[in-house]
Chain A
C-alpha cells in the first residue's frame, strides 16, 4: 500500500498545476454563468428568450427546454455545457493516458525495474483520475456556491444542493467512464498522442451522436451506444430522479474498460 500511495501522490504532484488551473477555470465558469443568469433575471428576459425560440424547436427540445430557461436552468448549465464537458473529458483522457506517456518517455522503466506490479501502475492512475474528477466537480460546486451566495438576486430560485449533487454525481461517473475508455485505448497504443486522439475523437462522436439523437429520430436508434446518453441533466433539472439504469450503464462501461486496460497492460511489452 505504501508503494501505491507513493505512486498516487507522485502522479497527483505531477499534474497539480494542470488540475489547479482546470479547477480554477471551471469554478470561474460557474460564477460567470451565475452572473449571466442574474443579468437575465434582472431584465426579466427568460420569458422573452423562450418566445424567440421557434415552435418546432420547442417541440423537438420538449418540456425540459422550459425548465432550462430559468435562473436555476442557467446555473445548472455549467454542469452540461459543451465547454465544461469538453474540459472534463480532456482532463480524464489526459490522466488516464499517463501510463502510456510513461512508457513512451521511458520513466516507467525505472518504476517497473523495481518490485512494483504492473497493475499498481494502472490502479494508481484510476485512483488519481477519480481524485481529479471529484476535485474538479467539487471546484465546480464551490464556484456555484460562491456565485450564488455572492451575486445571485434575492428573489432568484436557486438550484437545490441535492440537484447540484446529482448532476455532479452523474457527470462524474460519465467522466470516469471516459477515463476508463481512454485508458483501455492507451493500453493498446504505442503512443500517447494516438491514444489521446482516438479517445478524443470517440468522445466527440459519442457526444454528437447523443446530441443529434435527441432531435433526430433515425440517429436516436444508435444513440444508446453513446455514454453521453446516460447523462440526463435536463431531466434532473426538471425534477426527475437520477435513473439507476444510467448509473449502472456508466459504471458497467467504466468497469469493463478498466478491466480491458488491466488485461492489455499486463500482457503488453513495455518498450519505447
Chain B
C-alpha cells in the first residue's frame, strides 16, 4: 500500500566516507506522477543518493522515504514499490536474458504480465532468440535494454533509473522516451539520473542539480528554460556599425558588418525598439536551451 504523499522524500541526507562527503544534507521531494531529473557531474552524489534510497548504502545522517516508507527501517516495503535500473548492470553471464527476467520476477514478489513483458521486449527489439541467448553474448546496448525491461516489467509505481540511455543507440533512446511517456500517462513516477541535458529537457517535468553532494538548482524544466539566455541572429540589408553599448541584458557574441549574434538574457521586449534604427533584413531567435542554464551550475555551482 502506497501511503506517503510524495513518491520520494529526502531530508538532511548525508553520506560520508571518512573525510569525503558524498552527499551533504540533501533535501529533495519527488511528487507522485512526475518525471524527475537528477543531474550532476560524475562524483556529484547522484548514484550515492539512489543507492541510499534502495538501502544499498546506509546514510551517515538524515533520512529518505519512498511513498512514506523509510528507506532504512521499512526498506522492504519501500523497495517493493520500485523498479531499478543500475548505472552498471552486474549480471551472471551464464544466464540467458529470459532466465534473468524470470529470476528477477520471482524474487520481486509480483507476477509480471506476459503481455506487458512482450510489449517491452518488442519496444526494445529483443527477439525470443535474443532472450534465449547467454548474457555473455550480449552487447552493451542489449544489456542496457534488458536492464530497462527488468526495471519496467513489474510495472512498479516508482522507477529509479541511473543513466538510463547510456549505451543505447538513438532509435532505442526514442523507444525509451516513448516508454517513459507511457509510464507517466499511467501515473507512474520516474526518478532518473542523467547528465545528458537535451534528454532531461525533453522528458523531465522537474530537475534538481547536485554538486558536491548538495542540491544547487531545483526547478521545473519550464522555469529553468526561462532563465536561459537566447541567441538572436540579426541580418542587415547593408553594412552597419557595431554599437558602443548594448541595452542591459544584451551581449554581443559575434559582430560582422551585415550580421550580429546577440545573447539576450530575460524577455525580448526591448529588442524591436533597439533594432528599429537599423536596416534589419532578417531576424531569428533560437529556442532557449536548458543546457545554457545548467552548464553554469556544472562549472561553478552558482546560486
Chain A residues with a Cβ under 8 A of chain B: 2-3, 6-7, 10, 14, 102, 105-117, 267, 269-272
Contacts and interface: CB of A to CB of B under 8 A. Distances in A.
Label chain A's interface by main secondary structure. helix
A33 to B, nearest CB: 33
Given A3-B109, A106-B88, A115-B76, A269 B58 contact: yes
A48 to B, nearest CB: 51
B54 A6 contact: no
A112 B106 CA distance: 13
Contacts of B94: 14
Given A3-B106, A14-B94, A114-B79, 12 more contacts: A3-B107, A105-B90, A106-B89, A107-B91, A109-B56, A109-B86, A110-B90, A113-B79, A115-B108, A115-B109, A117-B76, A267-B58
Interface string B85-106: 0101111101000000001101
B155 interface: no
Contacts of B106: 2-3, 6
A112 B90 contact: no
Given A113-B79, A269-B57, A271-B51, A102 B104 contact: no
A114 B58 contact: no
Nearest to B79: A115
A14 B104 CA distance: 15
Contacts of B56: 109, 112-113, 269-271
B163 interface: no
Interface footprint category on B: 20 to 34
Contact of A6 (B76, B79, B103): B103
Contacts of A10: 103
Given A14-B94, A117-B76, A269-B57, A110 B109 contact: no
Nearest to B77: A115
Contacts of A267: 58
A106 B106 CA distance: 19
Interface in B53-67: 54-58
Contacts of B104: 110-111, 114
12 contacts: A2-B106, A3-B109, A105-B90, A106-B90, A110-B86, A110-B104, A111-B107, A113-B160, A114-B104, A114-B107, A115-B108, A269-B57
A110 B51 CA distance: 11
A14 B109 CA distance: 22
B92 A107 contact: yes
Contacts of B51: 270-271
A127 to B, nearest CB: 15
Contacts of A272: 90
Given A109-B56, A110-B150, A116 B107 contact: yes
A119 B278 CA distance: 75
B73 to A, nearest CB: 13
A271 B3 CA distance: 30
